[in-house]
Amino acid sequence: MDIDIKKKTFLNFVGLLRSFLIKCFIGIVLCSSIAFLYTNFIFEQILFAPKNPNFPIYIWHRSLIDFFNLSSSLYMEGIDFDIQNRKMDGQLMIMIWTSFTFGLIASFPWILYQIWKLVQPKLYNSKTRYSIVFVTITSLLFFIGVLFGYFIIVPLSIAS
């Protein structure tokens, strides 16, 4: 009788895990599909935006250099670069992987919420009311990290 209880709880856990994975997969596929529809915008306005000399971090950097009266040779400017594909399926694969990456980033709060729903039944009732705060703060910190990488790390790595 004790073995049946263990099997039942294990099978319940497997069912919950399967449900969790399916919901996360649906969220990623949905967000990736939407990103695939807007690949031109993603490439031109987001990925290749650091090419433009009027990129916000470049303007901020120039104003900082001017404020401290430093040499104008320290200005970070946009760089004119071209992306080349050397494979037959290169352009399509770049579009697919870019859409998948944006879908993963956009669906992060949904995935985090699903993780919380998976863990939440094992917590005490007093701890479950923090779920909205947990999902909100963790998502906010994740997106701050993404923005830091985009606005600080990418321009510095391109300009170097």
Q: Long-range contact list for 72-77, CB < 8 A, 24+ apart?
A: 76/155, 76/156, 76/159, 77/53, 77/159
pTM for this model (two decimals): 0.76
Phi then psi dihedrals of residue 80, to 5 deg: -85, 110
Token pair recorded at residue 34: 């939407």
Point out the residues of the chain with pLDDT beneath 50.
1-2
pLDDT for position 1: 44
pLDDT for position 127: 66
* Cα–Cα dist 138/148, whole Å: 15
